[in-house]
Amino acid sequence: MCTYHTVTTTVDGSAKGPEGSWFHVTDAAVYYDHPVHAMAGHTLNIDLTDPTRGPAARVALELTSTSARELVAAIQEALDAVPAALLQS
């Protein structure tokens, strides 16, 4: 069963697209649903986009719930290790 619960947020960063070029990403959508490509029944899906550039300006992740939780922990650990003076808003 799908939850249809999608969390969206604005982001400020860059992503490498399918043709190997970098582009600015401004939006993120996170949801738990059926994957398109991953070999799992359901995955946590993360889409990073720049809607002003059309549908090609998109990077998508499909992660198992275990992998998604491990990624969250790894991100938190990496950020916690950065000296406060280096962190940007």
Average pLDDT over residues 62-69: 96
5-63: pLDDT as tens digits: 999 999 999 999 888 899 999 999 999 998 889 889 899 999 999 999 998 899 999 99
The pLDDT-based confidence of 67 (bands split at 50, 70, 90) is very high
**What is the radius of gyration, based on Cα positions, of the chain?**
15
- The answer to whether residues 7 and 31 touch, using CB atoms and an 8 Å cutoff, is yes
Please classify residue 26 by burial: count the beta carbons closer than 10 Å to its beta carbon, then call 0-12 exposed, 13-18 middle and 19+ buried.
middle
The model scores a pTM over 0.85: yes
- Residue 2 scores a pLDDT above 80: no
